[in-house]
Chain A
Amino acid sequence: MAWALAVILVPRLLAAAAVAAAAAAVVTSRGDVTVVCHDLEMVEVTWGLGPNHQGANLSLEFRYGTGALRPCPQYFLSGAGVTSGCILPAARVGLLELALRDGGGAMVFKARQRASTWLKPSPPRNLTLLWTPDGDVAVSWPAHSYLGLDYEVQHRENSNGNEDAWQTTSGPCCDLMVGGLDPARCYDFRVRASPRAAHYGLEAQPSEWTAVTKLSGAASTGDPCAAHLPPLASCTASPTPAPAPAPAPAPALLPLGCCLAALLTLALLLAALRLRRVKDALLPCVPDPSGSFPGLFEKHHGNFQAWIADAQATAPPARTEEEDDLIRPKAKRVEPEDGTFLCTVPRPPSFESRGQGGGAMVSVGGATFMVGDSGYMTL
């Protein structure tokens, strides 16, 4: 039984050891381990992730000076879930000791130097470009919080991203004058900080370049001294890559159009209401019966009983069939002066006393007719 277990387990153990050894051997050489001190504030240690990295989980310990070794405060993990790097705080004085070990405790990488040995500064910020009256460009930027840096200023004529066209001017902090430029042209500028080798050593590396800043010619800046120069094409001085400007909010065309249409419609409607036909169609008149009962309201104050009694006392003779042939005008609209709409029915034909011919007198629309015994009307 024991032999069987040994036969099964020993090969597996040997294979695992070989994998660990291979992984550890990969990072033994310093080329697999990189150390970068970002701006003298933070140290980043990363170890190999190449095809030879067999999944070994390495651990990092560090210390400054002679204190006790401390474990890495923050690891990076690779896609396989094993450690691939470490972030630890930087100190400007004292020697930093790094110890990278595998799972079995074997040392795979060791270093003991000042953290500044691996310095990589941050790019300069808030780059300022200014044309001088002499036609030079004054480039300035705020200083870093530590010394020992040189700065490289590169410029090129505003071409289509030609990387070979950059020209370099170097100097200490924190301003440089770039001459030999044409104030009538546009230029691209960028700057980076470079640790001096005599200050930090040969392992320190320059910062990343700042974003390209475009500078328009002196004529476009309103410089009175350059007023005689020809106008330039558009070349705004802005720190690029600036984000695309946010699109201006679209005007509220739809609500505005709707409002205008509504107002126009209302105006047309109001104008149309002045036409009689439209008025009649939209606002039919309310008939006023007072015309049918003359004197009802004037004499009898709306007392219909009294009006009937009065009307009977003065009632005309009974209507004959011929009277049905009388032309009765239609009710017509009468617009009183106060603007109200009233429908007045013309007074019904009144039968007056008999005329000289013996026939009854009829007044219709201001005209008086005499109705003869034969029923014919004569004027």
Chain B
Amino acid sequence: MVLLRSLFILQVLVRMVLTYNFSNCNFASITDIYCNIIFHDLTGDLKGAKFAKFEQIEDCESKPACLLKIENYTLNPIPGCPSLPEKIFAWRTRAALIGHCPGYPETERNDGTQEMAQEVQNICLNQTSQILRLWYSFMQSPE
């Protein structure tokens, strides 16, 4: 029990140290990619869903802070939606970050655990909704 706890704390610390600083990204290029490609992927994924029923959980007030949260929500699987990082909008988000954020790591992320394998559509829709609203905050925030 103590070992698991230590491993968890170590994982959090490592993640904090290895968190990328998005301040040096080319926000204009990322904005173009989002407006022309990623936005349509996200809305396509939410098509038919009652988008408005999902309340926004998190917000951000600057472009670097928004990209940090977008990257976290998009590229990390969550219980009930293990396929999220494999969706087309996630691939294109990752490609935009790699291409326009100098030094962004290209290493693959770990797959979800077995507990995350079961797909729950509502959870995926909610997560996609959160990602889209973070992109809205990104567009409205200063650099």
Task: Identify the interface centre among B51, B52, B53: most chain A CB within 10 Å of its CB.
Answer: B52
How far is B43's CA from A117's CA once the two chains are assembled, in angstroms? Answer: 15
Q: A141 interface residue, CB < 8 Å from B?
A: no
Chain A residues with CB under 8 Å of B39's CB are 197-198
Chain B residues with CB under 8 Å of A114's CB are 56, 59, 133, 136-137, 140
Complex contact B55–A202 (CB within 8 A): no
Q: B117 interface residue, CB < 8 Å from A?
A: no
How far is B5's CA from A234's CA once the two chains are assembled, in angstroms? Answer: 85
Complex contact B43–A116 (CB within 8 A): no
Shortest CB–CB separation between residue B66 and chain A, in angstroms? 11
Stretch touching chain B among A89-97, A211-219, A273-281: A89-97
Complex contact B56–A112 (CB within 8 A): yes
Complex contact B56–A198 (CB within 8 A): no
Q: List 24 A-B contacts (CB under 8 A).
A: A30-B53, A92-B140, A94-B59, A95-B56, A95-B59, A110-B55, A111-B55, A114-B56, A114-B59, A114-B133, A114-B136, A114-B137, A116-B140, A147-B140, A148-B140, A197-B43, A198-B34, A198-B39, A198-B135, A199-B139, A200-B140, A201-B133, A201-B136, A202-B43
Q: B35 interface residue, CB < 8 Å from A?
A: yes
Complex contact B52–A198 (CB within 8 A): no
How far is B140's CA from A196's CA once the two chains are assembled, in angstroms? Answer: 11
Complex contact B61–A93 (CB within 8 A): yes
Query: 12 more A-B contacts (CB under 8 A) besides A116-B140, A198-B39, A199-B136?
Result: A95-B56, A95-B59, A111-B55, A113-B56, A114-B56, A117-B133, A146-B140, A196-B35, A197-B39, A198-B34, A198-B135, A201-B133
How far is B40's CA from A202's CA once the two chains are assembled, in angstroms? Answer: 12
- Contact-size category for A: 20 to 34
How far is B63's CA from A147's CA once the two chains are assembled, in angstroms? Answer: 15
Chain A residue with the shortest CB-CB distance to B135? A198
Q: A203 interface residue, CB < 8 Å from B?
A: yes
Shortest CB–CB separation between residue B134 and chain A, in angstroms? 11
User: Which B42-94 residues have C-beta < 8 A from chain A?
Assistant: 43, 51-53, 55-56, 59, 61
Chain B residues with CB under 8 Å of A113's CB are 55-56, 133
How far is B53's CA from A362's CA once the two chains are assembled, in angstroms? Answer: 139
How far is B35's CA from A306's CA once the two chains are assembled, in angstroms? Answer: 133
Chain A residues with CB under 8 Å of B35's CB are 196, 198
How far is B51's CA from A198's CA once the two chains are assembled, in angstroms? Answer: 14
Complex contact B133–A198 (CB within 8 A): no
Cβ contacts A364-377/B at 8 Å (1 or 0 each): 00000000000000
Specify which of B52, B132, B141 is in contact with A30 (CB 8 Å cutoff): B52
Complex contact B140–A203 (CB within 8 A): no
